[in-house]
Amino acid sequence: MWWYGHAPAADEGPVALEDLNAAVARVRGTPLKLTEPVTWLSRFGDASRQAERYRSGRVLLAGDAAHVHFPIGGQGLNTGLQDAVNLGWKLAARVRGWGSEELLDTYHGERHPVAERVLLNTRAQLALMRPDEQHTTPLRGFIEELLGIDEVNRYFGRMITGTDVRYTTFTSASPGRAHPWTGCFAGRLVLSGRPEGPVPVAELLRPARPLLLDLAGRADLREAARPWADRVSVVAGEAAVEPSAQALLVRPDGYVAWAGSSADTADELRAGLARWFGPPAAEGRRPAL
């Protein structure tokens, strides 16, 4: 576990409404009378802490047990929920017999760098909030100017919401060959050309099953996925995927485990299916725990 910053002192006691009004006046520069809080008042510090390992045998850490930081932008909520979704389907796969130890190990490899980046940007935002007329105020003004640029605004927006996460565990086995969509979040895509009309991929993931999205009528890929039919749902349709892909193998957490173009073969899909979702049914199952 490493840490940075300071937690609130244990003897500071409960927060009084007078404390809140004083803090608001200090930040605004003018008083603003606040009355009757509808939820609660509490203190928080600016400590940044992260566990060195998210898994030790049968002990796994997620959310605030794995990382804490200055609570700006609600990033702890997003990060903790993404931890839970990433870990949940892998634990379920292990319990059901087809998830391997190596699959559980990918949880740390994928989520630890994400929280590390969150701690970095929350510490940077905290630094910009420090009252320092000589250094911080000019820097804050410069950042505000940058945020007027649409692309910069989108960059920070994706970073704070966590929608720009791309897992490198997908591409490490075959560097240079992975499709650009591999490792990216696909839940925001909308699948069209279906009898019920357009449907978001996020809705298709509600049963918490992996999906093979056939976007180009690839019968060979659908056939290749048949031995995994007990775990993977095949869905045909169309989606505006740039750069183009003919098929996407999507994990239950919404991230693309494999993406195929016209040059990709059914054998490559089978390798992706076996790597992330265990052996085909014909080869039997690993025993459940």
Q: Is the peptide bond preceding residue 243 cis, with omega within 30 degrees of 0?
A: yes
At 234, which amino acid appears?
V
Helices (H), 48-161: 75-96, 101-129, 136-146, 150-161
Buried-state track 18-44, b at ≥16 Cβ within 10 A, e below 16:
eeeeeeeeeeeeeeeeeeeeeeeeeee
DSSP state of 74: G
CA gap 282, 285 in Å, rounded: 9
Global confidence as pTM: 0.82
pLDDT of residue 282: 63
Q: Please give the backbone phi and psi of residue 228, each rounded to the nearest 5 degrees, phi first.
A: -105, 20
Structural contact between residues 151 and 76, judged by C-beta atoms closer than 8 angstroms: no
How many Cβ atoms are within 10 Å of 131's Cβ, its own excluded? 8
DSSP state of 169: G
DSSP state of 255: B
Give the strands of the sheet with 233-236, arranged side by side: 233-236, 211-214, 247-250, 256-260
Q: Coil, strand, or helix at residue 68?
A: strand
pLDDT of residue 4: 47
How many Cβ atoms are within 10 Å of 63's Cβ, its own excluded? 17
Among residues 99, 100, 119, 107, the alpha carbon closest in space to that of 59 is found at 107
pLDDT of residue 50: 97
Please report, in tens digits, the pLDDT of each residue of the chain (289 residues total).
444 445 555 456 788 888 888 888 887 888 888 888 877 787 777 889 999 999 999 999 999 999 999 888 889 999 999 999 999 999 999 999 999 999 999 999 999 999 999 999 999 888 888 767 677 888 888 999 999 999 999 999 999 888 899 998 765 444 456 899 999 999 999 999 999 999 999 999 999 999 999 999 999 999 999 999 999 999 999 998 888 899 999 999 999 999 999 888 899 999 999 999 999 986 544 433 3
Strand segments, DSSP code E, in the chain are 2-4, 48-50, 55-56, 59-60, 67-68, 190-191, 199-200, 211-214, 233-236, 247-250, 256-260
Point out which residues pair with 61 in neighbouring strands.
none
